Amino acid sequence: MESPFERNDINGLVGNTKVRRTAMIIAAAIAALVLLPSTFTYISPGHIGIVIHRLGGGVDDAPLGPGLHMRNPLFTAIEEYPTFMQTLVLTRANTEGSPNNDEINVNSKEGQPLSLDVSMSFELDPMKVPKLYSTFRTDIETIQHSYVKQAIRQALQEVAGEEAIADVIGPKKAEATGRVQGLLEKRLEGFGIHVRQFTINELRPPSTVIDAINTKNVMQQQALTAQNELQKNTFQAQGDSIKAAGRAKAILTEAQAQAKANELLSRSITATLVQYEMAKRWDGKMPMVSGGGMPMIQLPKP
């Protein structure tokens, strides 16, 4: 026959089991409520998700597209990467790009220092982003200001190091910009970074170089002005010479015509013509002369 003490022990054991079961159910429910939100991951538009396995540290080759995705929060993590076009600005000013001085410093062919503010617009290839993350194990912002910035500096140095500083900041600036963009496209393509545009926004050479260039420009302008003045004087002298030759020719022609006219006139004047002209002009009156002599007028013979 069961004693009252044994009955109480059994009832206590059963009660404790129910309490533990209830506690476990409550704990599981609480854990489920806590973990439930983390079992879903939302990838924003214009982004993709990199699935990172916590235990092995591996990364899924296929990224997650925009939208809601289920995951195991205990064994996986999600790293979002933007796939829309971005622009990396590297400048000395702390009002854009980053609060730090991110200007690029290189040397020209002559060894002259040159500081540049640049920018690069790019997009990420969604299918290559997992490889990008596996390589650098960090976010895109850190990659931009480390590896990408160094790639830009190297490309700029290779191009600027082959040119005179006066050419880089002058007539060859556009050519140098294009060459740098070409180098960046080749070197970043393997990581899925598609370079869309590279721009040199500002170049800052030493003040001594600026002064030398300004002096050279002034001298060239003065030489051009002198050359233009010389050409002007030459053209004017040629014009005056042509005018003088024209005047001389006109005078000579006029003199020749006058001489010929005089020659013809002299040939045409004879004594008979003179007497005839005098007779035509005689009015029949005898000329008044002093003395008693009669003037003699000789008429031409018939």
Q: Are residues 117 and 152 in the same domain?
A: yes
Predicted pLDDT at 43: 93
Q: Which of 57-71, 222-236, 263-277 has the lowest mean pLDDT?
A: 263-277
Please check whether residue 62 lies inside any domain of the structure. Answer: no
Whether the pLDDT of residue 257 is over 60: the answer is yes
- How large is the average pLDDT for residues 256-273? 69
Clarify whether residues 31 and 130 are in a common domain. Answer: no
Residue 57 lies in a domain: no
Residue 154 has pLDDT above 60, yes or no: yes
Cα 114 from Cα 206, distance rounded (Å): 7
Do the beta carbons of residue 130 and residue 137 sit within 8 Å?
A: no
Same domain, 223 and 195: no
Whether residue 144 sits in one domain with residue 191: yes
Residues 194 and 94 in one domain: yes
Residue 246's pLDDT is what? 78
Q: Supply the pLDDT for residue 218.
A: 56
Between 134-138, 201-205, 262-266, 295-299, the lowest mean confidence (pLDDT) is in: 295-299
Question: What is the number of structural domains in the chain?
Answer: 3
Poorest-confidence range of 6-20, 119-133, 205-219, 236-250?
Answer: 6-20
Q: Phi and psi (nearest 5°) for 117? A: -105, 125
115 and 20 part of one domain? no
Q: Establish if 271 belongs to a structural domain.
A: yes
Q: What is the pLDDT of residue 93?
A: 81
**Are 179 and 121 in the same domain?**
yes
Q: Which residues of 54-191 form beta strands (DSSP E)? A: 67-70, 76-82, 86-90, 104-107, 113-124
Is residue 98 within 8 Å of residue 145, measured between CB atoms? yes
**CATH number of the domain residue 143 falls in:** 3.30.479.30
Are residues 188 and 163 part of one domain?
yes
Give the pTM.
0.62
In a domain, 210, yes or no: no
Domain contains 136 = yes
pLDDT tens digits for 184-213?
Answer: 999 999 999 999 999 999 999 888 877 766
Claim to verify: residue 108 and residue 194 sit in the same structural domain: yes
Please report whether residue 51 resides in a domain.
Answer: no
Q: Are residues 178 and 246 in the same domain?
A: no
Domain of residue 113 covers 86-205
| Domain-embedded: residue 156 | yes
Is residue 293 domain-resident? no
For the cut 60, the answer to whether the pLDDT of residue 259 exceeds it is yes
pLDDT one-digit tens code per residue, 211-242: 766 676 656 666 666 677 777 777 777 777 78
